Amino acid sequence: MAACGLSAATSPMYVILKCSRRWFLPVLAQSLIALTSARRFKVNEFTAIAIAGALVYPDIATMVTALQKTGQGHVLGVIPFALPAGGYLSTVMPSILAVWVASYIQKFFTKITPDVIKVFVVPFFTLLITVPLTFLVVGPVANTFSDGLTNLFQAIMNFSPIVFGLILGISWQVLVMFGMHWALIPLAISDVATNGSSSILSAALLPCFTQTGVLGAIMLKTKEEKVRTISMPAFVSSIFGVTEPAIYGVTLPMKTPFYISCGVSKLMGAAMIALDIKMYSTGGLGVFVFPILIGSDGSLLKLSLRFLLLSLAVFLAFLIQLFVRVPNL
């Protein structure tokens, strides 16, 4: 829209769409994380969404900065009140941990509160205790762990890029499941911005393709109608880089296909690093990954090599799963 001469000063529609991109989608993502966590930990779903909403409150970063400038950035004069550099909009673990903590608080107040007032007293006190705990304890702990993970991967990358490719390839899908992949994304973005390219996340381009491979073999071999029904849409979505239906619906419950996918990703991740396959921007996964693999020279030969490696990842995962028994779902 900016290319069309539209800006916040000249177009109401620009402001509306910018708000949708900047706030609505991240808030929706946090709400979905809170919702699924609430179902897992048996917390009131509306309470969980309210907790996630507190984490991404639009003005909180401004208020925290103002408090720190006036020297009032500590609760009770002792506990520091600070946010991670990018806030909580792009984090996953703080919301999950916050809902987990809320489950124990809710359980306690459910036991001691009379039924007559339980409907509003329990959510009220759950929020009253959980939100401050999240900002002062849970969030900082989760982000400290994330920063430690960032430093660990950076140290491994400096020690041996190929070892880094092996470890990232085999662990990427697990990192995504726990939301810890955000620890690496800022490194890749910074690397691209500084050097024009990055190989930090090259090994992470493969898991969606290995998931596609194992799903293809599962659809050919399985005799369960339920598995076929789930696998087909999961197969299609994995081609476009969305692997959650494949992981949570098929491969992870079956275990063996998930292990095969991680194992092939490990080998191919090391190959991507060894052959110095770079990303020239950050963007989509699946078939949408190819544009970000085209360098400024526009070399089709290099792109062909990248396409060959990604195709090999699909083929290896498919072939191994084809000769391995498909577990029942």
| Per-residue model confidence (pLDDT) at position 105 | 93
C-alpha pair distances (Å), 285 with each of 15, 67, 189, 240, 269? 28, 40, 15, 7, 15
Top pLDDT among 130 and 12 is at 130
Q: 303, 314, 189, 293: which is closest to 243 by C-alpha?
A: 314
- pLDDT mean across residues, the chain: 80
Answer positive or negative: Cα dihedral of 254, 257, 261, 264: positive
pLDDT tens digit string along 247-280?
Answer: 878 888 888 999 999 999 888 888 888 888 888 7
pLDDT tens digit string along 53-112?
Answer: 888 777 777 777 777 777 777 777 767 776 765 667 666 677 888 899 999 999 999 999
C-alpha pair distances (Å), 186 with each of 90, 182, 198, 201, 272? 11, 7, 11, 10, 20
Q: For residue 175, how far is the Cα from the chain centroid?
A: 8
74 φ, ψ (degrees, to nearest 5): -130, 135
Could you tell me which residues come within 8 angstroms of residue 324 by beta carbon, excluding any fewer than 6 positions away? 256, 260
| Per-residue model confidence (pLDDT) at position 228 | 85
| Per-residue model confidence (pLDDT) at position 316 | 92
Question: Is the predicted pLDDT of residue 131 greater than 90, yes or no?
Answer: no
| Per-residue model confidence (pLDDT) at position 15 | 63
262 φ, ψ (degrees, to nearest 5): -65, -40
Q: Which residue's entry shows tokens 């929706």? A: 28
pLDDT tens digit string along 198-253?
Answer: 887 887 877 778 889 999 999 988 888 888 888 888 888 888 877 778 887 888 88
Sorting pLDDT into bands at 50, 70 and 90, what band is 1? very low
Rg, the chain, Cα only: 23
Q: At 41, is the secondary structure helix, strand, or coil? A: helix
